[in-house]
Structure 1
Amino acid sequence: MKKLATLGLLLLSVSGAALADARADLQKKLATFERFSASFSQQVFDERGEPMQSAGGTMELSRPDRFRWHTQVPDESLIVSNGTDVWMYDPFVEQVTIVPLAEAVLNTPFLLIAGSDGHRWQQYDVSRQGDAYVVKSRNAAELIKEFSLTFDRQNRIERFVVIESGGQRSEFSLSEVDTSPTFQAGRFQFNPPSGVMIDDQR
């Protein structure tokens, strides 16, 4: 019994070290670029794996914590982070919601890839599954259950998958990837159009 207990502790220790190594490796890969832009195509599946819809748009980031996610089809929406606050704009209902960055990360973990705060990653477990890095939150209340990232041979993100707590899965494929884009001043600020309802939750 004592030998079994010792073996169990050893396995837990090895597992914990592997998770820490995977997290450090992922952070190292993400730190190789300060700026990033790409076009994305998205396929959404329900909890049974049945296709629901397709979407497409662009993503841009600039460290630390500045992020712009623009869905263009089939319906337009925009998420913009200036490093402190996050705007979530829905043109169809003419409303923008503003939340602090720390709160937005809970529901939009993509913001982790634009961050440079190592402490934020301590709330997530990272493992390797084949070529993918799988990130799981330790907070069961988060909307996103897990997401995974896959890199190409140039260490550029080429694909990621998001699984929500209800089982819905979104698969994203990236193209036109640029790890040294030039952004105009104000690219990561959002000024609501006239007449838009503002829900400021800061």
Structure 2
Amino acid sequence: MRLFKTLTTLALGAILALPAAALADEAAERLNQLLEPVHTYRADFEQQILDGSGQRLQQAEGRMWLSRPGKFRWEVDAPYAQVVVSDGEEVYLHDPDLEQVTVQALDTRVTHTPALLLSGRVADLTEAYAVSRRQQGAAETFTLTPRSADTLFEELALTFYGEQLGVLQMADSTGQRTAIYFSDVAVNPSLPDERFTFVIPEGADVIRDSH
């Protein structure tokens, strides 16, 4: 469960014979072209966590919604029910089994929160990440390497199919990889503000993280 908490607390922006710097600029520009038109987003997801040898450690399923900038809702059904909601200012992590809610200020640094990679400001991506791109048939994959060492992940990869995000993958320093597969995707649906409002359940233990 801690693995999912780490991921979600933290939840949903041309290959040519050119110099490396030019390729990186083109990759970042292309990623911006794909993410910039996305203002709201909803999808079902399957999340898998693999160890360094590729063995599956955990699997979860759920749903996500986001509204840029900074608002998202991430609901995990199984194996551990969990809800993470950002209202654009604070992030609420609810563990129903523990009857506990953790509240922390939204960290807008996209190197810290994978969900903010999608819900944050696209213009921040090229400042936070070095971007490369590769095309394999209909799949267009962008690999993002954080420019700062102060991050939970060493590498992020976004794969688009027909200009629609299909997979988000993350790798940490231990070699552990997290892959999130999206399905039943809706781009720019109408989402009520209430979707990104969290009401703390009566009787829940509330922990406020000041860091």
Structure 2 contact 45–61 (Cα < 8 Å) conserved? yes
Gaps of 5+ in 2: 1-17
Amino acid at match of 2:32: Q
Please give the TM-score of this superposition, normalised by the length of structure 1: 0.84
- RMSD over aligned CA atoms reads 2.0
**Correspondence for 1:170 among 174, 178, 193:** 178
CA distance in 2, matches of 1:129, 1:164: 21
Which residue in the other structure is 2:192 paired with? 184
Instruction: Give the Cα separation in 1 of the matches to 2:84 and 2:157.
Output: 20
Report the 3-state secondary structure (helix = DSSP H, G, I; strand = E; otherwise coil) of the residue aligned with 2:121: coil
- 2:39 is aligned with what amino acid? E
Q: Which runs of 5+ in 1 are unaligned?
A: 1-12
SS in 2 for 1:192: coil
* Pairing 1:156–2:156 present: no
Q: Quick one: percent identity of the two aligned structures? A: 33
2:68 aligned with 1:63, yes or no?
A: yes
1:94–1:165 distance in 2 versus 1, CA, 3 Å: farther
Are 1:71 and 1:77, in contact at CA under 8 Å, matched by a contact in 2? yes
Q: How many angstroms apart in 2 are the aligned matches of 1:84 and 1:121?
A: 23
Aligned equivalent of 2:141: 132
Which residue, out of 68, 89, 100, partners 2:94? Answer: 89
Q: How does 1:1-12 map to 2 (within 5 A)?
A: none
Of 42, 51, 74, the residue aligned with 2:79 is 74
TM-score after normalising by structure 2: 0.81
Shift of 1:106: 4.1
TM superposition shift of 1:150: 1.0
SS of the aligned residue for 2:192 comes to: coil
- Residues in 2 aligned to 1:114 and 1:97: alpha-carbon distance in whole angstroms: 20
CA distance in 2, matches of 1:192, 1:104: 25
The size of the alignment, in residue pairs, is: 189
Q: What letter is aligned with 2:170?
A: V
Larger radius of gyration: 1
Paired with 1:113 and 1:144, the residues of 2 have a C-alpha distance of 15
Identify, as 1 or 2, the structure richer in helix: 1
Q: Distance in 1 between matches of 2:103 and 2:33?
A: 30
Matched-pair contact (CA < 8 Å) for 1:96–1:198: yes
SS at match of 1:144: coil
The code of the aligned residue for 2:176 comes to Q
Equivalent position of 1:122 in the other structure: 127
